[in-house]
Amino acid sequence: MAAHSKGGCMYLKKIIIMGFMFMITSLSAEVTTVHLTAEQPLFENGIPLIQGFNKLQIPGTPILPAQSTLLALPAGSEVISVDVSVGTPQTFIAGKPSIAPPSLPLCADRMLFEQAMKRYEHNKQRLASCTLFPPQPFYISKMSHFRTIPFVKVTYFPVLYAPTGLSFYPSIHLTIQYTTTAANNTISQWVQKDAERLFANWSAVKDLYTTVLDDSFSFVIIAKDNLFSAFDSLVAWKDSLGFTTKCVSYDSIIAQYPGAQNADKIRNFLIDKYVPWGIHYVLIGGNVDQIPMKICYPDPGHSSMSYTPTDYYFAELTDDWDSDGDNYYGEYDQDSIGFVPEVIVISKGKPARGKIMPSSLQPSVISRVKAAYRSVTALPSWKS
C-alpha cells in the first residue's frame, strides 16, 4: 500500500493523542497504545483533502488522503500483535472521485508506455469490482529498524472509496503488544537528531536509549585499490570539516565478506561495520562496471519496466530485500523493506530510476567525488 510519508513531524505530533504505556501483560510482554485522528476532509476537484495528510495516488484508483506514522519501540523489541479499532465511519456521497492518472515513463519507449497503461486499466477494472478501497482505513507494515531502534509504521487512510460513495473514519486506535530482550540501546548524536524527526513518539521512548559521542569513521569511501590516491584530497578535506574519513578497499571487501553477488558482499561489509564504526556517509567510489549496484524489481510482475539498479541497497541495511525468497529483490508489497536507511549513500545522478546505461553515461568516479563534496557543504567554486 503506497503512501507518501513526507510531512511535518510537528503536525504529526498534533494529530496524535498518544499514551505510551508500559503495561506488564505477562512476564515479558508490554503494550503501547496510539490514537490517530483526522479532520473532516475538504473537496477540491473531486479530491478529498485533509490538512497535514499526503495523497495516495495509485494509477487507476481514487486519489485519497493518507499519512504514515513511525512509532519507535525500545531496543530489542519484537512485535507480537497490533490490534486496531476503527469505530463507526461517517458515510457521505461526494460525487465522482478523481482517479489517479497512469504513471507514464519519461522516455518514448512504446513497451514501457503500454505496460504503464495496462497497469492503469487493470487497477481501474479491479476498482469496479471492489467493495472498499483501500480495504480498511489503515495499513500496518512489518516491524523494521532504524539502526538499533525498532519501529512500527502505520499508514492511516481516513477516507475509503466504495462504489456507493466515500466513508470517513475520523480516528483509529492501535494497541501494539511486544516483547523486549536485552539489546544494544546506544545511539550516536546524529541518530538522536534523526530519530526526533522520524518518530512521532520519540519523546516517550528517547530515555530508553543512551546517546554516545559520534565515533570512529563517520565517512567511509569504498574504492578499488588503484583509485585510492584519487580520494586523498577528499579525505583531507572531509577530515578538516570534522569528519573521520576512511577509505576501504573494494577488493578486500570482496575477498573477505560472503554474498552471492559483489553487491551483496558490499552490503554485508556495511552491515558488519555501520554500528561499531559509527558510519554516517558512504561514498561508492567507482563506475557501475567497477563497483556494481544491486538489481531490484519493484514491480512484482518483473516487467522490463521494473528492472532497477540501485545504490539504495547499501543504505537500507536492516531489512530483508528478498523476504519472500523468490530471488527478485526489492519487490513492492512482497519484500519487507522499511525504507528508513541506516547510512546515507552518495552517488551522482539518479541511478535508482534508470536502466543500466552505456559506459559513457554511467556515473563517473569524478562526479561521485563531486557529489561527496556537495553532501556536507556548498561546493567551493574551485571544486566545481
Q: 114 or 326: whose CB is closer to Ca ion?
A: 326
Q: Write down the least CB distance from residue 337 to Ca ion, Å.
A: 8
Stretch that binds Ca ion, among 151-159, 204-212, 319-327, 354-362 (CB under 5 A): 319-327
Contacts of 131 (CB under 8 A, 6+ apart): 162, 163
User: Can you tell me the distance from the alpha carbon of 69 to that of 50, in angstroms, rounded to the nearest whole number?
Assistant: 15
Helix (H, G, I), strand (E, B) or coil at 220: strand
For the chain, the first-to-last Cα distance in angstroms comes to 41
Q: Write down the least CB distance from residue 356 to Ca ion, Å.
A: 20
Q: Write down the least CB distance from residue 44 to Ca ion, Å.
A: 35
DSSP β-bridge partners for residue 14: none
Q: 157 or 297: whose CB is closer to Ca ion?
A: 297
Instruction: For the sheet with 16-19, list strands across it.
Output: 16-19, 29-37, 171-180, 77-85
Residue nearest to Ca ion (CB): 318
Q: 32 or 144: whose CB is closer to Ca ion?
A: 144
Other beta carbons less than 10 A from residue 73's beta carbon: 24
Q: 30 or 335: whose CB is closer to Ca ion?
A: 335
Q: 83 or 324: whose CB is closer to Ca ion?
A: 324
Q: 166 or 340: whose CB is closer to Ca ion?
A: 340
Q: Write down the least CB distance from residue 195 to Ca ion, Å.
A: 12
User: Can you tell me the distance from the alpha carbon of 375 to that of 103, in angstroms, rounded to the nearest whole number?
Assistant: 30
Q: Which amino acid is present at 190?
A: W
DSSP β-bridge partners for residue 71: 152
Decide: is 148 part of the binding site for Ca ion (CB under 5 A): no
Decide: is 318 part of the binding site for Ca ion (CB under 5 A): yes
Decide: is 194 part of the binding site for Ca ion (CB under 5 A): no
Q: Write down the least CB distance from residue 209 to Ca ion, Å.
A: 16
Contact pattern for Ca ion over residues 265 through 304, marking x by CB under 5 A: ----------------------------------------
Contact pattern for Ca ion over residues 322 through 361, marking x by CB under 5 A: x-x-x-x--x---x----x---------------------
Q: Write down the least CB distance from residue 279 to Ca ion, Å.
A: 13
Q: 143 or 176: whose CB is closer to Ca ion?
A: 143
Tell me, by CB under 5 A, how many residues bind Ca ion. Answer: 8
Other beta carbons less than 10 A from residue 187's beta carbon: 22
C-alpha cell belonging to residue 188: 550516536
C-alpha cell belonging to residue 234: 577528499
DSSP secondary structure of 274-296: TTTTT--EEEEES-TTTSPPEEE
Main-chain phi, psi angles of 83, to 5 degrees: -100, 135
Q: Write down the least CB distance from residue 328 to Ca ion, Å.
A: 4
89, 168 contact by CB (below 8 A): yes
Q: 147 or 265: whose CB is closer to Ca ion?
A: 147
Q: What is the DSSP letter of 32?
A: E
Binding footprint of Ca ion on the chain (CB under 5 A): 318, 322, 324, 326, 328, 331, 335, 340
